[in-house]
Chains A and B, each alone.
Chain A
Amino acid sequence: MNEARPIHDMAYHAEWLAKRIQDRSLGLDVTVSFRPDGVVVFMYRRGEARVPVLLAVGRSGATGQNTRFGLLFAAPGVPAEAGSKLAAYTLHHLEKAFPDQPPFWMRRRNQDVAEVGWSATFLQRFCGDLIVPALTCWRDARLGEATFEPDSGLHLPVVDNTPFDLYVQPGDAPASGSIVGHYGALVLAVSQATALRHPLTSYVGYALWLSVPDSAKLFVFDEYNADMEPYQGGAVAADAFLMGDLRDCEAIPAALFGSRGNLAMVYNLDRECANGMKWIPGAIPGTQVDTWAIQPSLEFLRHWNFADLNDLDLVGSGGESRVTSLIQQEASRNPEFYFLFNGCAGHLMGDDVTRCFANAVHDRSRCAPCLGLNSLTPDHDYARMWETLVERTAPPLPRQVVPGRVNLVGYGHPGLKSVQELMAILRSLGIDDVQCLLPTFDLERLPTFTTAQVTLVMPDYRVDESFTRVRPHLCGKVLSPPAPYGVRGTIAWLQTLLAALERPALTQEQETELLGRWGTAGFRATQASGSPYRAAFIASPAYLQHDTSHIRCGVDLPAVLSEQGFTLTLGVLPSQRGRVPRLPASVLARWRVADSGPAGAAWGNVVWGEAGETPEGLIARCAAPLVYSEWECDDRVLAAGMMPFSYADFEMGFGGALRTLERMQSLVEVRFSRCGSGF
């Protein structure tokens, strides 16, 4: 770019490129030409025989389908073997032609395929010398004539309703500096209207976008259209947080990391993607909201490897080489399980993490199992991961039930105080072969999973979704009883388990002994000392129609609150049209509330929202000191002088029931919030 030359001198570019492709090692002559549609044609000749290899932008040679990606492929009709060989040959020489900008995708792709794709970003490396000239010939009138200028490099005016100028300037490498290792070519697109600068990729993207016909554009879908319950959603609570992420496969390693197993984790991601990961901490001290859940623990991060894709990697070596070396590095630790994850960027580049694994670990017969997932591939989630784990760790068929063995699925992290207490209760009843699964797994104990006599599954749809795939692998009974919240709930849960294990039911004496041992005598005393309190649940009529609307994350709210001595007030929001519908008797029974009053008036335990009434107004009219809200520190509730509570405040088991009651009473009795209501 040191001498001015016309940008449209395609013969010059063709000759320049042909010189770099030609080496006669195959005994072939090659000529290069640019087709009007932007395709670069490498025509190989030997005598009369001609084999065209095409380099296309924005168009697939194989299917004729429009895409955003560039492709290198042998022209249709060329025998596969010859096409493949010549495409590989072309790639090899293109790579040599751009030695300081190695197009890595060419090298790793030409091992076994002839058709090669790359995304628009990679094109920027070719823009100055190849692609932009081709595009300027190719696309519409909005692209003005470009010129090379010795001082400012390539100058390309784009004529549109937001005109901008494109400059490609030779990069000036810094003279020295320990920090800055490399400055690439400075490539800028400057808007004439706004003076904003864009990377060249924006321009290429724009040009490629022009190539997509309107008919190929997809329908509009906006998920924010979905109606949301004003009081549900946004919860970040201990167990609930774990459960909520079950459908995101990226959270899997955290689940496995909590186990005693030795796990290798390698992610093919850029930082932005890594920054959006859902993290699960290794251990959670209690059921209270863990506000640091989005910050992974130091110990977890010591084992979490990622490719850290950046601009140079995308153009240079890509994610695969780094992922391969990270797998090799991890392999030296002899892990028991490999988890590999390919993020969107890696997927778009065509990286294949399982192939990296194959390259990195040569003797796979002696290697630990590996699970490789793609973020853009459907069905790659917790359920799939769990099924894979079970398939690879389960004893061979036929399997036999081991009497007394129990699985607890979806009851939370084994480090939770309430889960530990449940296990202790079971041990006191002689049930000591118990495994807790979901959201975390214990790789050492997993082989015993399929042979449990009884598997108890937390009644929550997220757990159920994750459990579906492994259910057929179990040879024992599978039950989903109401979760052990509250004293009565815990006893009922134990009775269900004992019955399933075909053991005698708890006697009155055993119940008394258990209640005494776990401090539930204190529960009764605490319960008795409290005056009848009110707690409110605000919801829309549509939400209340659901059969399980009263159960949030396994907690049967009316049942547990009732046991604690609370009266529940149901605040029914007006519908969007302002109508205040009646609730069926079954709904009222489920919520243990009565409704005999006219709409708009508080009557019994239901408060009906009035047309146009805001949630804040309804909260005030419910006049309950506690209001259910899964928004952390819901300001609508706090501003009304009330306290928000949610399932995150509830703990399982006898001791958990006592702690829950004390917590709820503390929330009711706190005088602070009422001091500031109305401000």
Chain B
Amino acid sequence: MGHLFPTCATFLDGIALLTNAVCDLATVIDSRDCGTEKLAKAGIRQDFQSTLDAPGRVPRIRFSALSPTDLAMGTQEKLEAAATRAAQEVHAGVVLLTAGSAVQLTGAYHEITAVKLAQQLNCPVVAVPAHCFSGDHLDGYSAALEALIQAMPITTQPVEPGTVGIIGMPFDRNEADEVANLRELERLLSGIGLRLVSVLPSGQRFDRFSRILNCEHLIGLPHGAAAAELLGRRLGRPVHMLPLPMGLEGTSKWLAQLAESTATQEDCRKFIEAERSRLCRTLRRPVRELFVGRHLVLAADPHLAVPLTAACTELGFRVLSVLLRSRNPALLEHAAGALRQHSPDTAVTWDQSLPAVAQQWAELAQSGVDLAIGTTAERAAATDLGLPFLELGFPSYVRHALFEAPWMGFQGTLWLADSLYNLLSAQRFLGR
């Protein structure tokens, strides 16, 4: 019936993730004070390097701490007080205002408050309309990034030839895996003669966002597509909207598509060829030995699920089912369509509860499932069945990255294969 706790993260989780990804952003949630776990979810549990909250530091996510009466009589004064305090204590480069579900229900309006506070605090203050009742973490992340792009001052800057800026990076933590993704993107672009100058967000301060203004080429990734489009509109320049670069084929296409208008086609072709040759040498044995024909179930957000499914299929896996971790109809429709086109036999579900996922995976396991990929939210379903589990995406409370290993690009394909091989190899050793 769908009335059990969902695995899909919420709108405010997305806001918290984005806050974590911009180190001087202070976010004030207009709500009661019962959401403090959000700090733990996007920060402490998800990210060992998080600065959302830490001993001796002030928390960067605040609550207006409303009483029940405030919900009826107005929240503005408490919101302003909390935002003022947050801006001052955090030394915020930018302050973001949004609302919890109860305040959204009362129809609170924050934009005027944001303008008033920006004048008082002498720092950008932006309001993000809350979508707690229907949005998910992707909506929250995207909306918050869009608001920051809107708040970014646009000045006329000289464009540096051959430079690239990326908007919409799914930077869900400051740990080494996300840092490695940045390095891999830098390496990929360098391989086709381009220089990566700015990635939004990537853990940097808000004032560093302006470096993207110097970039000759702008790339929009799906996690911040709206923000990328907005920046393109504000700058009056085209933005290359691209999916996440994952897998051999996916990364090759990503580079080729980019090179069509930004780089020398021949250089790009040579780079891709060299990389694919390198990877194939490493991967041919694991693919033949353990991957081909293995059954896999997967749970990921729609932006990640499509390229990840393609990458797994390309390695020889049969993806039996994909759970799309979203409740955004447009995203779901698009991703489901892409998955149907790419692997028509794959069962696609979305926005499931953990018990429902467990039931579906258990039914599939009766005819054989070898492996599951998902987030912490689905881990218990795999554990219940004794399935090897690779944790990828938000939340990732169990797997942490202590050294730089990307999951994007060609190197990310190696990491994926490495992780899956070792899980399956250990299972084989146990005779399963």
- The answer, yes or no, to whether A126 is at the interface (CB within 8 Å) is no
A291 at the interface (CB under 8 A from B): yes
CB contact between B102 and one of A225, A271, A344, A635 (< 8 Å): that residue: A344
* Chain B residues with CB under 8 A of A675: none
Residues from chain B with a CB closer than 8 A to the CB of A218 are: 67, 69-70, 73-74, 77
Interface positions, chain B 17-72, Cβ under 8 Å from A, are 32-38, 40-41, 44-45, 53-56, 62, 65, 67-72
CB contacts (< 8 Å) of B81 on chain A: these are: 220-222
Interface presence of B266 (CB below 8 A): no
B280 to chain A, nearest CB (A): 37
**A164-B73 in contact (CB<8A):** no
Q: Which residue of A lies closest to B234 (CB)?
A: A195
Q: In the complex, A444→B12 CA distance in Å?
A: 40
Alpha-carbon distance A272/B99, docked complex (angstroms): 11
A196-B147, A204-B107, A272-B10 given; A311·B133 CB < 8 A: yes
Rounded to whole angstroms, the CA-CA distance of A90 and B346 in the bound complex is: 51
Partner of B230, one of A195, A304, A305: A195
Within the complex, which residue of A195, A271, A309 is in contact with B150, where a contact is CB–CB below 8 Å?
A195
Establish whether residues A271 and B107, one from each chain, have CB atoms under 8 Å apart when the complex forms: no
Give residues 346-391 of B contacting A (CB, 8 Å). Answer: 350, 353-355, 358, 376-377, 380-381, 384
**Could you tell me if B73 and A298 are in contact, using CB atoms closer than 8 angstroms?**
no
Whether B6 is near chain A, meaning CB under 8 Å from some CB there, is: yes
Q: Is the CB of A295 within 8 A of B397?
A: yes
Chain B residues in 8 Å Cβ range of A191 = 111
Asked if B111 contacts A296 (CB within 8 A), the reply is no
Query: A180-B329, A272-B12, A307-B3 in contact; A234/B55 too (CB < 8 A)?
Result: yes
Given contacts A120-B106, A164-B111, A203-B109, contact A615 B377 (CB under 8 A): no
**Contact of B134 with A by CB under 8 A:** yes
| Inter-chain contacts of B33 with A (CB < 8 A) | 223
Q: Is B430 an interface residue (CB 8 A)?
A: no
Contact status A68-B78, CB under 8 Å: no
Whether A631 and B354, one on each chain, are in contact in the complex, defined by CB atoms closer than 8 angstroms, is: no
A223 touches B56 (CB 8 A): no
A99: B residues at CB distance < 8 A:
none
A275 within 8 A of B: yes
Tell whether A209 pairs with B377 under 8 Å between CB atoms, given A195-B230, A196-B147, A345-B101.
no
Judging by beta carbons under 8 Å apart, are A217 and B77 in contact?
A: yes
- Assembly CA distance A237 to B11 (angstroms): 28
**Across-interface contacts of B1 in A (CB, < 8 A):** 329
> What is the CB-to-nearest-CB distance from B59 to chain A, in angstroms, rounded to a whole number?
8
The interface centre, meaning the residue of B53, B74, B230, B376 with most chain A CB atoms within 10 A of its CB, is B74
Q: Are B78 and A301 in contact (CB under 8 A)?
A: no
Which residue of the partner chain A has the closest CB to B355?
A302
Q: Is the CB of A275 within 8 A of B76?
A: no
Q: Would you give the shortest CB distance from A230 to chain B, in whole angstroms? A: 7
Please state if B6 and A230 are interface contacts (CB–CB under 8 Å): no
Q: Which of A621-679 contact B (CB under 8 A)?
A: 629, 631-632, 634-636
Contact B381 A348 (CB under 8 A): no
- Report whether B34 and A308 are in contact in the complex, using a CB–CB cutoff of 8 Å: no
B2 engages A298 (CB within 8 Å):
no
Q: Does A483 belong to the interface (CB within 8 Å)?
A: no
- Residue B211 CB within 8 A of the other chain: no
| Alpha-carbon separation in the docked complex, A23 to B85 (Å) | 58
Nearest-neighbour CB distance to chain B for A278, whole angstroms, equals 7
- The answer to whether residues A67 and B107 also contact, given A304-B5, A344-B32 and a CB cut-off of 8 A, is no
B333 contacts A by Cβ under 8 Å: yes
Asked if A291 contacts B397 (CB within 8 A), the reply is yes
- Taken together as a complex, chains A and B put the C-alpha atoms of A304 and B353 apart, in Å, by 11
B76 touches A304 (CB 8 A): no
Contact A298-B134, Cβ < 8 Å, known A209-B109, A220-B81, A636-B56: no
Contact assessment for A161 and B112 in the assembled complex, using a CB-CB cutoff below 8 Å: yes
Q: How large is the interface on A (under 10, 10 to 19, 20 to 34, 35 or more residues)?
A: 35 or more
B402 within 8 A of A: no
A305 partner residues in chain B, CB cutoff 8 A? 3-4
- In the complex, the answer to whether B72 meets A68 with C-beta atoms within 8 Å is yes
> What sequence of 0s and 1s flags, for each residue 90-106 of chain B, a beta carbon within 8 Å of any chain A beta carbon?
00000000001110111
**Which of B6, B111, B353, B354 is in CB contact (< 8 Å) with A198?**
B111
Residues of B within 8 A of A344 (CB): 32, 68, 71, 100-102, 105
B9 at the interface (CB under 8 A from A): yes
Residues from 294 to 353 in A contacting B, C-beta threshold 8 Å: 294-298, 301-302, 304-311, 313-314, 322, 326, 329, 343-345, 347-349
B interface, over-half SS:
helix
**Nearest Cβ distance between residue B384 and chain A, in whole angstroms?**
6
- Complex: A347 Cα to B106 Cα, angstroms: 12
Beyond A301-B353, A301-B355, A305-B3, whether A271 also contacts B132 by CB under 8 A is: yes
A194 at the interface (CB under 8 A from B): yes
Answer whether residue B235 sits at the interface, using C-beta atoms and an 8 A cutoff.
no
Task: Say yes or no: is B424 at the interface (Cβ < 8 Å to chain A).
Answer: no
Q: Are B73 and A216 in contact (CB under 8 A)?
A: yes
Q: Which residues of A contact B146 (CB under 8 A)?
A: 196
- Which of B13, B101, B377 makes the CB contact (< 8 A) with A273? B101
Contact B354 A298 (CB under 8 A): yes
**CB–CB B102/A221 < 8 A:** no
Minimal Cβ-Cβ distance residue in B for A307:
B3
- Within 8 Å CB of B104, what residues of A? 121, 201
In the complex, are the beta carbons of B108 and A306 less than 8 A apart?
no
Please, how many angstroms separate the alpha-carbon atoms of A314 and B101 in the complex?
11
CB-based contact A209/B74 at 8 Å: yes
Tell me if A205 is interfacial: C-beta within 8 Å of chain B. Answer: yes
- Contact across chains for B134 and A296 when beta carbons are under 8 A apart: no
Minimum CB distance partner of B137 in chain A: A275
In the complex, the answer to whether B107 meets A121 with C-beta atoms within 8 Å is yes
User: How far is A629 from B109 in the complex, measured between Cα atoms in Å?
Assistant: 40
- Determine if B221 is an interface residue (Cβ-Cβ < 8 Å): no
Please pick, from B6, B110, B377, the residue contacting A271 in the complex, using a CB distance under 8 A.
B6
- Cα separation A375 to B32 with both chains bound (whole Å): 10
Q: With both chains docked as a complex, state the minimum distance between the C-beta of B143 and any C-beta of chain A, in angstroms.
A: 9
Q: Which of A68, A177, A276 contacts B74 (CB 8 A)?
A: A68
User: Which residues of B lie under 8 Å from residue A307 when comparing CB positions?
Assistant: 3
> Any chain B CB within 8 A of the CB of A202?
yes
**1/0 contact string of B112-150 vs chain A (CB within 8 Å):** 100100000000001101011110000000000011001
Which residues on A sit within 8 Å (CB–CB) of B350? 179
Q: Check A115 for interface membership: any CB of B closer than 8 A.
A: no
B37 touches A205 (CB 8 A): no
* Identity of the chain B residue whose Cβ is nearest the Cβ of A313 in the assembled complex: B133
Would you call A502 an interface residue if the criterion is a C-beta within 8 Å of the partner chain's C-beta atoms?
no
- B111 adjacent to A162 (CB under 8 Å): yes
Q: Are B56 and A309 in touch, CB under 8 angstroms?
A: no
Give the complex CA separation of A273 and B38 in angstroms: 11
Contact of A220 with B41 at beta-carbon distance under 8 Å, contacts A234-B55, A275-B12, A301-B353 already known: no
Interface string of A267-301 (1 = CB under 8 A from B): 00011111111100000000000011011111001
The 10 nearest A-B residue pairs measured at CB:
A205-B107, A120-B107, A344-B102, A206-B109, A272-B132, A631-B55, A276-B35, A298-B380, A376-B68, A180-B329
A interface list, Cβ under 8 A from B: 67-69, 119-121, 123, 160-162, 164, 174, 177-180, 183, 191, 193-199, 201-206, 208-209, 212, 216-225, 230-231, 234, 236, 248, 270-278, 291-292, 294-298, 301-302, 304-311, 313-314, 322, 326, 329, 343-345, 347-349, 375-377, 614-616, 629, 631-632, 634-636
Known contacts A294-B40, A375-B34, A614-B56; 17 additional CB pairs below 8 A are A161-B115, A164-B111, A201-B104, A209-B74, A218-B69, A224-B85, A234-B53, A275-B13, A295-B377, A298-B384, A306-B3, A307-B3, A343-B102, A344-B102, A345-B133, A616-B56, A629-B55
10 A-B pairs whose Cβ atoms sit less than 8 Å apart in the complex: A196-B146, A209-B109, A221-B81, A271-B132, A298-B380, A298-B381, A301-B4, A345-B102, A614-B56, A615-B56
Chain B residues in contact with chain A, CB under 8 A?
Answer: 1-6, 8-13, 32-38, 40-41, 44-45, 53-56, 62, 65, 67-74, 76-78, 80-82, 85, 100-102, 104-112, 115, 126-127, 129, 131-134, 146-147, 150, 230, 329-330, 332-333, 336, 350, 353-355, 358, 376-377, 380-381, 384, 397-398
